Homo-oligomer: A and B are copies of this chain.
Amino acid sequence: FSSDRVDIVFDSFGGSSIDGLLPDADIAFTFGGDGTLLSAASHLSSLGIPVVGVNAGRLGFLAEFSIEEIETFFDDVLEKKLPIEKRMLLRCKVYSKGLEKFNRLAVNEVAVMAGKPFRMIELLIEVEGEFLADPRSDGLIISTPTGSTAYNLSAGGPILSSALEAMVITPVSCQSLSFRPVVIPPDYRVCILPMKINRGTWVTLDGQASCSIKKHDCIEVTRAKSTFNVVSNPMRTYWNTLSDKLHWAKKPRYSETT
């Protein structure tokens, strides 16, 4: 790379020495996978710095560039010629007896997990102050469009175009046979009230930050004010990546005669 044109200011998150320099950065690169990018997301989005995810191994969903591709597009990135997708984030607050005990951002999803001793939990869900449902399940996922291809998809939720602004609510192993995932507007305020939970019940964000949940807590999920600005790889579409990585819509290998 043309190191004369770039000031490399950080090597790993956690290095507090770079915090003073980072706010002045034009662009950030992460090297690793989606996990690396997710762990940097909260910090970068609050500063409004767009990020280029470089995937050391194979392609990622968010880390859209391979090493080879970033060499090709390096100049375009610096010259800000590549499109930047502004991905919506979720803010999750947990209140205990009226006091805020947890407050974090999520790129993919906020998930409530039943935990030990693995009895189904019962959560009352309100959207915009209206009763939505109170499913018994192994857990509940509130996902962004970005996260719709992650945990939400494994739990049976739909794929949301990254160009859409919305949230999707999907339970995990719901006892009700008739529950179906629900897609709601991005500005809706979602409240989750635990009716019956386990001692091991937690809320986790992007599989990273997490918080233990008690009986009378209230979990609030809203759209965050900031967005996560990701530089897009012009070589690939959202649908390409879905197909390449998750084998989405992959056709059977049928012989011609069938």
Q: Which residues of A contact B (CB under 8 A)?
A: 32-36, 55-60, 63, 111, 113, 115-120, 127, 130-139, 148, 151, 153-161, 163-164, 166, 168, 172-185, 188, 200, 202, 204, 207, 210, 237, 239, 243-258
Contact A257 B35, beta carbon cutoff 8 Å: yes
A/B interface sample: 27 pairs, CB < 8 A:
A33-B254, A33-B255, A34-B255, A34-B257, A36-B257, A55-B255, A57-B255, A59-B255, A63-B255, A115-B118, A134-B249, A134-B251, A135-B249, A153-B180, A154-B173, A158-B180, A173-B173, A177-B246, A177-B248, A178-B178, A178-B247, A178-B250, A179-B248, A200-B200, A244-B253, A245-B253, A247-B253
A179 nearest CB across to chain B (Å): 5
Contact B33 A258, beta carbon cutoff 8 Å: yes
A160 to B184, CA, bound (A): 6
Contact B210 A180, beta carbon cutoff 8 Å: no
Contact A56 B255, beta carbon cutoff 8 Å: yes
**Most interface-central of A36, A55, A253 (chain B CB within 10 A):** A253
A258 to B148, CA, bound (A): 16
How often does this chain occur in the complex, in copies? 4
Q: Which of B130, B136, B172, B200 sits near A116, CB closer than 8 Å?
A: B200
Which residues of B lie under 8 Å from residue A243 when comparing CB positions? 133
A157 to B156, CA, bound (A): 10
A173 to B183, CA, bound (A): 19
A152 to B172, CA, bound (A): 12
